[in-house]
């Protein structure tokens, strides 16, 4: 596709439910990042993939959050037993190469998660 | 101490003036520095990257890096109303993949 695609665009769920957020990066992009952005704040790093390898998950808030990228392309961020504090915009970004090379991050439109 | 700090603003400048946006970072091993622009309701987009001390110019934009002072700035010359947005400073440490963003500075260019 022409850009990073995220789905769904909006997700409303009830507290305690599991949600899965999908990211389809730009074709050929090696690096994939997940961020969370609260209103009026900058993006907060969650996790990073190089191809299918999850090389940094230091930003995942707790063990309810997990992510995978099994074939080195599409990635899924899963939040189990959602809580109201999980409500935020979740953004995926991809880049062509890893650090030290082309580092420009291309962001998707994000998934706005609301936990009721 | 936050890894990347920015004044949240808003910074208001008249049309045609120079807008100066500032950012400090805490870790001396930071290697790569970026400025992203984010329009309201949109996603961040990269406008400048800088890797070595000094100035880097691209059109109306100039990024400045001072590693000794751990300071990055963005100058926007001849500011236009279309420059009104939030500007996010981002940093990557040497040996790490994580790109850390500041909270952003909201810029308002007054016609």
pLDDT in tens, B10-39: 999 999 999 999 999 998 888 899 999 999
Residue B31 is predicted with a pLDDT of 87
Residue A15 is predicted with a pLDDT of 98
3-state helix, strand, coil in chain A (%, to 5): 5, 45, 50
Q: Which member of A42, A58, A108 has the closest CB to residue B101?
A: A42
Tell me what the mean pLDDT of segment A85-91 comes to.
Answer: 98
Task: Report the gap between the CA of B105 and the closest CA in chain A (Å).
Answer: 9
The continuous run of DSSP H or E covering A22 comes out as strand A19-24
DSSP string, B36-75: EEE-TTS--EEEEEE-SSEEEEETTEEEEEETTTTEEEEE
Tell me what the mean pLDDT of segment B36-45 comes to.
Answer: 97
Burial class (CB in 10 A: 0-12, 13-18, 19+), A33: buried
Is B43 in Cβ contact with A103 (below 8 Å)? Answer: no
Choose the mutation target among B40, B97, B100, B102 for the interface with A, i.e. most A CBs under 10 Å.
B97
Whether A101 shows a pLDDT value over 90: the answer reads no
Closest CA in chain B for residue A55: B97
Chain A residues whose C-beta sits inside 8 Å of any chain B C-beta? 31, 33, 35, 40-45, 48, 50, 55-56, 58-59, 91, 98-99, 103-105, 107-110
Per-residue pLDDT tens over the stretch A7-37: 999 999 999 999 999 999 999 899 999 999 9
Average per-residue pLDDT for chain A: 94
Per-residue pLDDT tens over the stretch B58-79: 999 999 999 999 999 999 999 9
Per-residue pLDDT tens over the stretch A39-86: 999 999 999 999 999 999 999 999 999 999 999 999 999 999 999 999
Is B104 in Cβ contact with A99 (below 8 Å)? Answer: no
Residue B1 is predicted with a pLDDT of 79
Separation between Cα atoms, residue A79 and residue A72, nearest integer Å: 20
Separation between Cα atoms, residue A83 and residue A63, nearest integer Å: 13
Is B92 in Cβ contact with A56 (below 8 Å)? Answer: no
Task: Report the gap between the CA of B80 and the closest CA in chain A (Å).
Answer: 22
Whether A1 shows a pLDDT value over 70: the answer reads no
Residue A103 is predicted with a pLDDT of 85
Is B98 in Cβ contact with A103 (below 8 Å)? Answer: no
Residue A98 is predicted with a pLDDT of 60
Separation between Cα atoms, residue B51 and residue B67, nearest integer Å: 10
Residue A99 is predicted with a pLDDT of 56
Q: Which member of B8, B97, B103 has the closest CB to residue A56?
A: B97
For chain B, give the percent of residues with pLDDT over 70. Answer: 100
């Amino acid at each position: 596709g022409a850009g990073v695609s995220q789905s769904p665009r909006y997700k409303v769920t009830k507290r305690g439910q599991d949600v899965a957020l999908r990211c389809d990066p730009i074709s050929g992009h090696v690096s994939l990042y997940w961020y969370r952005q609260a209103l009026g704040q900058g993006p907060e790093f969650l996790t990073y993939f190089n191809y299918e390898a999850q090389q940094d998950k230091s930003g995942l808030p707790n063990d309810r959050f997990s992510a995978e990228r099994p074939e080195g392309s599409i990635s899924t961020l899963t939040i189990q037993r959602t809580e109201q504090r999980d409500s935020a915009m979740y953004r995926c970004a991809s880049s062509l190469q890893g650090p030290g090379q082309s580092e420009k991050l291309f962001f998707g439109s994000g998934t706005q998660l609301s936990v009721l | 101490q936050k890894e990347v700090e920015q004044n949240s603003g808003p910074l208001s400048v008249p049309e045609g003036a120079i807008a100066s946006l500032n950012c400090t970072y805490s870790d001396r091993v930071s290697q790569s520095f970026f400025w992203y622009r984010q329009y309201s309701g949109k996603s961040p987009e990269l406008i400048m990257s800088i890797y070595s001390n000094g100035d880097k110019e691209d059109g109306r934009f100039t990024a400045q890096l001072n590693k000794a002072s751990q300071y990055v700035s963005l100058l926007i010359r001849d500011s236009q109303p279309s420059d009104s947005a939030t500007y996010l400073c981002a940093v990557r440490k040497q040996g790490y993949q994580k790109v850390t963003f500041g909270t952003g500075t909201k810029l308002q260019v007054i016609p």
